[in-house]
Structure 1
C-alpha cells in the first residue's frame, strides 16, 4: 500500500533530482534512500546474508568457543 505525502525541497535540490532521476521516478528514488533508515528489513537481510556465509559462521563459532574456554579458566 502506498501513501501520498507532500514534502518541501529547495528548488536546486528538486531540479537536481528531476535531472538525475526524472519526474516519474522521484518517489521511488526517495523511498529507496529513506527505507534503510526507517525499516528493520535491511538489518534482517544483512543477518541472513551473514548466516549464509558458511566460512564466516565457522570462524565465528571457533572464536566464540575459544572465549568459552577463557571464561572457564577465570571461574577457577
Structure 2
C-alpha cells in the first residue's frame, strides 16, 4: 500500500528533479534513495540471502584477498 507524502524542497531542486528524473518518476526515485536508510529489516534479509550464495561469497573473498595483497605492495 502506498501513502502520499508532501515535502518542501528548494525550487531549483524541484526543477532539477523534473528535468533530470521526469515528473512522473520522482516518487520512485525518492523512494529508492530513502529506502535503504529507513527499511533496515529488508536490507538485513538481503544480506543474509547474499551470504547464503557460497559461490558469490567465495568470489568476494578472493577479490578482497587480492585487493589486500595489492595494497601491501604499494609504496608510500
TM-score under structure 1 normalisation?
0.66
Unaligned runs of 5+ in 2: 59-76
**Cα gap change, 1:50 to 1:9, in 2 (>3 Å):** same
Instruction: Indicate the structure with greater helix content.
Output: 1
> Which residue does 1:47 correspond to in 2?
48
CA apart distance, 1:54: 4.5
Number of residue pairs aligned between Structure 1 and Structure 2: 58
Structure with larger Rg: 1
Return the offset for 1:31: 0.4
Please name the residue that 2:17 is paired with.
17
**Secondary structure in structure 2 of the residue aligned to 1:23:** coil
- Give the Cα separation in 2 of the matches to 1:55 and 1:19: 38
How high is the TM-score relative to the length of structure 2?
0.66
Shift of 1:55: 7.0
Deviations 1:21-64 (A, max 9, x none): 1000000100010111111202210221012125747xxxxxxx
TM-align CA RMSD? 2.0
Q: Which runs of 4+ in 1 moved over 2 A?
A: 53-57
Q: Residues of 2 paired with 1:23 and 1:55: CA distance?
A: 38
